[in-house]
Amino acid sequence: MPAFSLDHFDLYSAHHVPESYTWPSSYLHDHPSAGDGGGGGDSIPIIDISSPTAVSLIGAACRSFGVFYATGHGVPVDLLDDVEHQARRLFALPLHQKLDTARRPGFISGYGRPPLSAFFPKLMWSEGFTIAGGHRRDVAGDIWPLEQAVFCDVIEKYNKMMKEMAGKLLNLMLLSLGIDQEEAGRAGLIRDLQEAMEVLQLNSYPACPEPEKGIGMAAHTDSGLLTILYQSRGVNGLQILHKEDEFGPTRWVTLPPLPGALVIHVGDLLQILSNDQFKSVRHRAVVSRAEHRLSAAYIIGPPGHVKMGPISKLMQYGQNPIYRSVTWPEYLEIRAQLFDKALELIKLPIK
């Protein structure tokens, strides 16, 4: 992935969108926009995950949308505020300080353009800090060598709560597929999550003087099992691609931030596990003319040695496995070559 140079275009004080950040209208408007995700068949479910009805509601949401809002998750609002505050501290630093922790070739953690940039000829109106596993001290230590403790404590507490929430969500999702906790344990799905690979992606989308020309994050799916997304309050940006029914149009649906709610995305590995019952949601981030938006995406996947394939119990109902088994690192290598065609490559021949 290309690294930032010292003469990198300053997104925060820009008065125009240069050619290198100008995306063709045919890409930005490939499908109509349905506006905010409320009303009609495009309404994104809001699910209290502590409710007795959570299993059935989550199953329906994962099948229809691949995404839902989660409430009743137990993550304190104060902690969400602290994560946003620490992210704002990071992105407010001068470029030369952020470059001190620029992502190096072959490494996941660090500062830089969205990893997706390698797949597109145009640049995205955003920047990010990627913190993989326990590397928060590597990122903070390079920028704040004498005052990293507060940042690291907040991120450590947040990651811990996100992992607990991810385990609960995965259990509810498996139950909605008819896989009980004992069966999930035998398959290693819940047990191995204790050793899960996790990535926290902090994203900054500065106000854009010509939002009709730019994109904050190009359309993509997430590669892991699931993503838990926090969005800064009051600023829209997240959109998912949704087809209401077999005969309806495909549209971009906006998911505005809701107070106290977190957005849950189905990832590619969960689509594989569910044998296509759950759909990995295609999503993007658009930019605003006046507002600066932040997000924190917690992405979780299995340990590197664990193979992910369609759950065998699902085959009892007459299904054939659609995908071959892969580890997350193997799948990431495939995505690095084929991007959004990766799932197609691991499909098994139709019997």
To the query of whether residue 293 is one of the catalytic residues in this protein, the response is yes
Contact 126, 12 (CB under 8 A): no
Strands (E), the chain: 33-36, 46-48, 67-71, 110-112, 127-132, 197-205, 217-220, 226-231, 238-243, 250-254, 262-266, 283-285, 293-301, 307-308, 326-327
3-state SS record for 263-287: EEEECHHHHHHCCCCCCCCCEEECC
Q: At what angle do helices 77-91 and 149-176 cross, to 10 degrees?
A: 130
The one-letter amino acid at 147: E
Sign of CA dihedral 41, 264, 273, 178: negative
Distance, in Å, from the CA atom of 140 to the CA atom of 138, rounded to the nearest integer, reads 6
Token digits of residue 169: 């969500």
Nearest to 240 by CA among 261, 224, 213, 222: 222
Set 103, 293, 324, 335: catalytic member: 293
The angle that helices 54-64 and 149-176 make with each other, rounded to 10 degrees, is: 90
What DSSP letter does each residue of 207-263 carry, written as one string?
Answer: --S-TTT--SEEEE--SSSEEEEEE-TT---EEEEEE-STTSPEEEEE----TT-EE
Residues in a beta bridge with 227:
265, 299
CA distance between the termini of the chain: 39
Q: Which residues participate in catalysis according to the annotation?
A: 293
